[in-house]
Structure 1
Amino acid sequence: MPTVLHLNLRVDPTQYIPQIREVPGYDYIHSVRQPKYMTDMSLLNEKVHYLNEILSPKEHIRKYNISLLHAHHGQLGLLLMPFKKKTNLPLVTSIRGVDATLAEERAGYLPNMRKLFEEGESFFPVCNYLGERIANWGCPPEKMKVLYGGVDLGKYTYQPTYRESSANILSIGRMVEKKGHHILMEAFNKIRDKFPQAKLTLIGSGKCEKYIASLATQLNLGDSFQLLKHLPKDELHEHMRKADLFCAASCEASNGDVEGIPNTLKEAMAFGLPVISTSHAGIPELVTHDKEGILVQEHSVDELAEALEFMLTDRTKWKTFTDAARLKIEQKFDQKEQLRQQAEFYDEILRKK
């Protein structure tokens, strides 16, 4: 069985564990840059290695019979380029949201990425939208293969609940600008008078937490709003069961950072929650407006408020939306199928080696 050396940002449950540890027909070495990025000790095993402790790349690949390198972000692909040159192994790089932007003002990022496009064997953007962005930067189209992030359908059984009286709105995602939590809060504030029973729950952690808390105070949301830190999956599922609507108000951040397709939106659709989102980035590849849910323009508080009011006022379409949404996940975002596709991409690269 061939072994792939994976490099990702952190070892924690949010960091693409299935795409590293569950690819059929492939063993793995799970690498991070330094021990401080080993953030969830429950995932520590003998296959976790630290890049800064690898003194001889050639000896390392011989010892662990490594056939392929896979960087799970653009910046990590850049880090593996010297490793690739010393070992002559093929290098694959996944492209996620920030990787296809000039956000975070990383010095020399664009010319370095163009060098990676020349020397890397393949690139896996997580949606067509990001693929188009890196193509505009010079990535050869023949090197690109879109690989969607999938949902474990065994863990997200379809269990829609259509309540008539409650109005519980849920959003899950890191507390960063591109998630659009602030826009959702302002839209929610616009509809509170019409839906006095409505409640908004945001779940996540990040650098915007203090701003979100202060905005809740400024809008006087009171008991109609709660902000919860990052929660384990079983607790997230419990909040999904209690929710009536899921909203992902994603938008381009002021520094240019963008999404790919939010995983939490896929999970909500798999679970059976009616969804509202925006036409941002790759989201229209997941949600067709008025088919699997409702889409509005990003950054538009008024459009989002109208969508919330529409969904809470007329619930007759909810079953049509959620049935179509579950089908979309099963057909295009099933984790098992995406991992099989990933293995096929690996096979193709190794055949050319």
Structure 2
Amino acid sequence: MDTVMHLNLRVDRAQYIEQIRQVPGYEYIHMVRQAKYMTDLSLFNKKVYYLNEIFSPAEYVKNNHITLLHAHHAQLGILLLPFKEEMNLPLVTSIRGRDATLADQPIGYLEHIKMLFDQGELFFPVCQFLAEKITDLGCPSDKIRVLYGGVDLNQFVYRSPNQRDSQNIISFGRLVEKKGHLILIRAFHKIRHQFPNATLTIIGSGPLENSINSLATELNLGHSFRFLKQIPKDQVQEELTHADLFCAPSMEASNGDVEGIPNTIKEAMATGVPVISTFHAGIPELITHDKEGILVQENNVDELADAIEFMLNNRQKWETYTLAARQKIEQNFDLNKQLLQQAKYYDEVLGD
């Protein structure tokens, strides 16, 4: 069986574990740059290695029967180019968001990514939006294979939307500008007078944590607002079961950073929680406005507030949205189907 050496940013549960460890027909090596990026020790096993501790690439490749390299961000693909050249191994690279832009990139990034496009075998943008972005940067279209991230449908089980009188709004993800949490808090503040029993829960960690808490305090949200930091994945799923609406107000950050398609939206859709999001990046590939959910213009407090108000006033529409959303996930974003597609792309590169 062929072995793929995957280079990832970190070893943690948010970092594409299934796309590394569960590709059918392929063994894996789970590589990160240094030991400090081994952030979830529960995922450590004998197949986890550190790139900076490989002193003889030839011996390492031979001993581990490696036939293919997979970098899970463009920056990591650039890092692997000397290894690829020395070992004469094919390289595929996933494109996940900011790496398809020049946002906050080091000097020389455009030159280096063009080198990656020239020398790499295939590129897996996680949505058509990012495929177009890397085409604009110079990636040959015949090297691009869109590979959507999938959801484990056995883990995220559909249930009908809540029919009780609660109005619990939830959002989770990394606390960075492109996730739009500050916009969501302001939109929630606008609808509070009409829905005094509504609550907003934000789950995550990141550099905007203090800004989020400060804004909630400034707007006097009080007990209507909850912030939960870095809770376990199973607890996030539990929070979803108590949610009435899921909001993902994604937007282009001021530095140009963008999303692909957030997995959090897919998980909410699979679970049967009605979704409000934005016309940002690849999200319209996942949600057709007023079919699988509601989309608004990004970075727009008023439109987001109107969408929340609409959803809370039209509870009878929720099941129509969520059934269509679950069907969309089953058709195009089923983890098992996407892993099989990933294996087929590997086969294509290796000539199997």
TM-score class normalised by the smaller sequence? over 0.9
Aligned to 2:69: 69
Aligned to 2:208: 208
C-alpha deviation, 1:71, in angstroms: 0.2
- Taking the aligned partners of 2:244 and 2:14, their CA distance within structure 1 comes to 25
Aligned to 1:348: 348
- Taking the aligned partners of 1:56 and 1:82, their CA distance within structure 2 comes to 13
C-alpha deviation, 1:164, in angstroms: 4.2
Aligned to 1:218: 218
1:169 partnered with 2:169:
yes
- Contact residue 68 and residue 90 of structure 2 kept, 8 A: yes
- Taking the aligned partners of 1:272 and 1:177, their CA distance within structure 2 comes to 27
Cα displacement string for residues 101-141 of structure 1 (whole angstroms, at most 9, x for unaligned residues):
11223111111000100000000000000000000000000
The 5 Å alignment of 1:51-66 reads 51-66=51-66
Residue identity opposite 2:342 in structure 1: Q
- Taking the aligned partners of 2:303 and 2:239, their CA distance within structure 1 comes to 25
Residue identity opposite 1:109 in structure 2: Y
Q: Which is further off, 263-272 or 104-113?
A: 104-113
Quote the sequence identity (%): 65
Aligned to 2:231: 231
1:36 partnered with 2:36:
yes
Aligned to 1:8: 8
Aligned to 1:288: 288
Cα displacement string for residues 309-345 of structure 1 (whole angstroms, at most 9, x for unaligned residues):
0000111110100000000000000000000000000
Cα displacement string for residues 255-303 of structure 1 (whole angstroms, at most 9, x for unaligned residues):
0000000100000000000000000000000000000000000001000
The 5 Å alignment of 1:288-307 reads 288-307=288-307
The list of structure 1 runs, each at least 4 consecutive aligned residues, that deviate by more than 4 angstroms after superposition, is: none
Q: Which is further off, 188-197 or 50-59?
A: 50-59
Aligned to 1:83: 83
- Structure 1: stretches of 5+ with no match in the other structure: none
The 5 Å alignment of 1:142-153 reads 142-153=142-153
- Taking the aligned partners of 1:15 and 1:157, their CA distance within structure 2 comes to 22
C-alpha deviation, 1:232, in angstroms: 1.2
C-alpha deviation, 1:246, in angstroms: 0.3
Cα displacement string for residues 180-233 of structure 1 (whole angstroms, at most 9, x for unaligned residues):
000000000000000000000000000110111111111111111011112212
Query: What is the TM-score when the length of structure 2 is the normalising length?
Result: 0.99
Aligned to 1:18: 18
Residue identity opposite 1:80 in structure 2: L
1:193 partnered with 2:190:
no
Residue identity opposite 1:99 in structure 2: D
Aligned to 2:264: 264
Aligned to 2:321: 321
Residue identity opposite 1:28 in structure 2: Y
- Taking the aligned partners of 1:53 and 1:105, their CA distance within structure 2 comes to 26
Task: Tell me the C-alpha RMSD between the 2 structures.
Answer: 0.8
- Taking the aligned partners of 1:154 and 1:74, their CA distance within structure 2 comes to 31
- Taking the aligned partners of 1:270 and 1:161, their CA distance within structure 2 comes to 12
Q: Which is further off, 155-164 or 140-149?
A: 155-164
- Structure 2: stretches of 5+ with no match in the other structure: none
C-alpha deviation, 1:163, in angstroms: 2.3
Q: Which is further off, 271-280 or 218-227?
A: 218-227
Aligned to 2:244: 244
- Taking the aligned partners of 2:105 and 2:48, their CA distance within structure 1 comes to 30
- Taking the aligned partners of 1:102 and 1:186, their CA distance within structure 2 comes to 29
Residue identity opposite 1:315 in structure 2: R
- Taking the aligned partners of 2:229 and 2:103, their CA distance within structure 1 comes to 25
- Taking the aligned partners of 2:10 and 2:117, their CA distance within structure 1 comes to 24
- Contact residue 161 and residue 322 of structure 2 kept, 8 A: no
Aligned to 1:100: 100
C-alpha deviation, 1:162, in angstroms: 2.6
